[in-house]
A and B are shown apart, each in its own frame.
Chain A
Amino acid sequence: MGMRKVAVIGAGMTKFVRRALETPKELSWLAVQQALQSCELTMDDIEAVCMGTAPDSFDGLHMKGEYLSDGAGGWRKPYMRSYVGGGTGVFVPIQGWYHVASGLFDVVLVVAEEKMSSFYPHAQAAFLTIFDHTTERPLKPNLLWIFALEMNRYMNTYGIAKEDIARVSVLHKRNAADHPAALLGDANITVEDVLKSEVLAWPVQRLDVSPVTDGAVAIILAAEHVAKRLTDKPVWIEGVGWCLDTAYWTNRDLAYPRYVEYAARMAYEMAGIKEPKKEIHIAEPYDPFDYKALHHLEGLQLAERGQAVQMYIDGTAARDGNLPICPSGGLLGVGNPIAAAGLMKIAELFWQLRGEAGARQVPGQPRRGLAQAWGDLMQVGTVVIMGR
């Protein structure tokens, strides 16, 4: 017997905002409601729920998954929360995938929610608690710091200029201007704006970074026989991959994300993809920082090492280019509610591949897309390949 095919049949998301007035449960429910409406289902049709949400410390909620359960539709249903840090947003659809592909369920709701604004004064302080309590936490590191290390290493290894990296931020934020749910869309932003923005930890500047955001996204997955009954345009999950590297991140080569490569190879193999550069038509690499999009495109084998930036220079990455990158606007433009940001990329591929992306629609009827997220201590890659 072959593997069960799994399709995405519906998607919904809240607006991504800086400070949501809704509780985390309410945000989850708003996204779920939209996803259900998009495929004309009700909670009665949902057999199980998968939840993605990253650290409990943002909300100061122990067992946050349990707290979110009824808001996310987990009432009297099989419900589980998975997490792989920042990679969670693209992992939770993988969790949904194995729920369906295993044959245990036919229709599964996948929800990702994050509310970062509850943390006062700034969610950045919550990240102090992700570091090793003995060897690293006493140094009081924060994420901007370690990204500055990695960005420096990346620029230095391949001789990439900051001016060129800034192009990533410009393209993504311009793309986001067409996204109705985006927090930081800006049709007129320029490279100069990025280079003139406040320095946070050299070489990271404010506009190199995605914003702290609140939001939720939900998608609905169905087994082949159900998907074909419910929609004319199912979008299939063709490949999934995930890979977690050692916790000892300080021993890692920061110039190249090998864990992303392994996750991508797992997904390509499952999808039967031999030449990713030709066979992937849209890519939504994880872009919490502008250089990260480049870093990940290389790990995903969509660009040679140190060459990803050329895609932004020669227009390949543009929405009408040969391989559009983050046509949604990505985390830099739409916003970065950690787990929800990753699932937003999956929702974007769903809309793009169905030709329902409105002003953001990539021309030429793309057939196959890839979404990727990353997280933990520069440690995890999660990849999903979707196709018509």
Chain B
Amino acid sequence: MSERVAIIGVGWAGFHTKTQELSYKEMVYQAAMRAYDDAGVDARADIQSFVTVAEDFHEGTSIFDEYTPDQIGGALMPVHTIAGDGLHGLATAYMLIKTGQCDVVAVEGHCKASNILTLPEITLYAQDPVLNRPLNLNSEFIAGLEMNRYLYESGTSREQCAAVVVKNRRNALLNPLASYPADLSLEYVLEGPPVAWPLTKHEIAPTCDAAVVMVLASEEKARHFSENPIWILGMGWCNDSYSLENRQWGSLAYIQKAAHMAYRMAGFQNPQRMIDFAEVDDQYAYRELMTLEALGLVAEGSAGFLCAEGYTSLQGELPVNVSGGSLGMGHFLDATGLVRTLEAVLQLRAQAGLHQLEDVEVGLVQSWRGLPTTSGAVAILSNM
């Protein structure tokens, strides 16, 4: 059994809000070629298995895994699809390597949200068909409910949530892969059109297109192929209740459990002290705050205050979403976890460019599958 697993190659394509010139297959092909080149592997000879992440309705094709093998070099190979976030795909590749049956595995995730004309209607199809869908409500009402409960329980203010937007979109100014950089004022965010009270329009991440491919390897192969392997120290994932009627609203038990699993695997007793930076979900600004508390990186109820004080800024004690996050880069649907893992890998390799953090050794990546799900995942990466 392999002791450690590393990411030895990353490749990406896209990062545009619209991609008229390329199909999703062409985007994925570009990302795959860059990843294999970066890892120095021959896809057909060195990679034993491929994992892809996708959801049928996002692709507009049923049984979408049919269309995954060709553009990643996986035809007539062990390929399978996880209906999950990119981090679920990463966890799957991690497990495949840990079995000892595979030593090099590729993971692919892509998002061509610009092809989806009716995303709110598609998300409506994810609501319970009997109890919730007949109400015919845009799923964002769920985020409004959750935000309201969180503000009430934690004493966080709307201004503190808006500060997340200001921070992340300013961070995006330094990231060439970010599509929504901006220097905004708190007032501008707060005065945006309300979507589902207290949530306003500028607190919601817009979508963006990209494809990301990563190559993972066992310790032995990682040392063979790579000079700068990024080690996966821990992975965790968890679901809570899918039913709106009996889920817990003010906190994120599933993120907490996923984080505990990852910390246990990494052997972290005190994650605040071990983790240098975090890339966490911010599809809705308040979720970044809720998530940081669930991850145990800040004390319960303190995230809003700390964020507004600059604790999570680029120069802060715990930089969060220096990439710009989903608010600054856009949200990549099922590929989001891989996009944020890409940022963590580049930071840990010291290849992040203008927004490079100094002396970082351990990064945490977290993702959430979006409304109306209670599905989250956590990865802990290190260059040591």
| Contact A104 B69, beta carbon cutoff 8 Å | no
Select the residue from A61, A62, A376 with max chain B CB neighbours within 10 A: A62
User: What residues of chain B lie closer than 8 Å to A84, measured between beta carbons?
Assistant: 65, 79-81
| Contact A56 B69, beta carbon cutoff 8 Å | no
User: What residues of chain A lie closer than 8 Å to B81, measured between beta carbons?
Assistant: 82-84
| Contact B78 A244, beta carbon cutoff 8 Å | yes
User: What residues of chain A lie closer than 8 Å to B239, measured between beta carbons?
Assistant: 66, 69-70, 74-79
Select the residue from A2, A129, A132, A258 with max chain B CB neighbours within 10 A: A129
User: What residues of chain A lie closer than 8 Å to B128, measured between beta carbons?
Assistant: 67
Kindly state whether residue A184 has any CB partner on chain B within 8 Å: no
Kindly state whether residue B294 has any CB partner on chain A within 8 Å: no
Kindly state whether residue B101 has any CB partner on chain A within 8 Å: yes
Q: 1/0 contact trace for A233-251 toward B, CB 8 Å? A: 0000000011111111000
| Contact A376 B100, beta carbon cutoff 8 Å | no
**Of B53-61, B167-175, B321-329, B351-359, which stretch is located at the interface?**
B53-61
| Contact B1 A103, beta carbon cutoff 8 Å | yes
**Of B88-96, B193-201, B206-214, B281-289, which stretch is located at the interface?**
B88-96
Cα separation A65 to B81 with both chains bound (whole Å): 13
Cα separation A85 to B64 with both chains bound (whole Å): 8
Kindly state whether residue B319 has any CB partner on chain A within 8 Å: no
Kindly state whether residue A140 has any CB partner on chain B within 8 Å: no
Chain A residue at minimal CB-CB distance from B122? A62
Chain B: minimal CB distance from A224 (Å): 13
| Contact B96 A83, beta carbon cutoff 8 Å | no
Chain A residue at minimal CB-CB distance from B78? A242
In the complex, which residues 262-310 of chain A have their Cβ closer than 8 Å to any Cβ of chain B? Answer: 262-263, 266, 270
**How extensive is the interface on chain B, given as a class?**
35 or more
| Contact A63 B240, beta carbon cutoff 8 Å | no
| Contact A66 B75, beta carbon cutoff 8 Å | no
Q: How many of A's residues come within 8 Å of B, CB to CB? A: 66
Kindly state whether residue B241 has any CB partner on chain A within 8 Å: yes
| Contact B101 A101, beta carbon cutoff 8 Å | yes
| Contact B70 A247, beta carbon cutoff 8 Å | yes
Kindly state whether residue B76 has any CB partner on chain A within 8 Å: yes
Q: 1/0 contact trace for B95-139 toward A, CB 8 Å? A: 110111100000000000000000000110110111000000000
Chain B: minimal CB distance from A144 (Å): 16
Kindly state whether residue A127 has any CB partner on chain B within 8 Å: yes
User: What residues of chain A lie closer than 8 Å to B254, measured between beta carbons?
Assistant: 76
With A56-B55, A66-B372, A244-B68 known, 9 other A-B pairs at CB within 8 A are: A66-B126, A79-B239, A80-B91, A80-B237, A82-B82, A246-B75, A247-B67, A263-B78, A270-B101
Q: A residues touching B (Cβ–Cβ < 8 Å)?
A: 1-4, 23, 54-57, 59-67, 69-70, 74-85, 91, 95, 97-99, 101-104, 126-127, 129-130, 132-133, 241-248, 258-259, 262-263, 266, 270, 375-377, 379-380
21 residue pairs bridging A and B, Cβ less than 8 Å apart: A3-B1, A4-B1, A63-B57, A67-B128, A70-B241, A76-B239, A76-B254, A76-B257, A83-B83, A101-B100, A102-B98, A104-B98, A130-B66, A242-B78, A244-B69, A244-B80, A245-B69, A246-B75, A246-B76, A247-B67, A259-B76
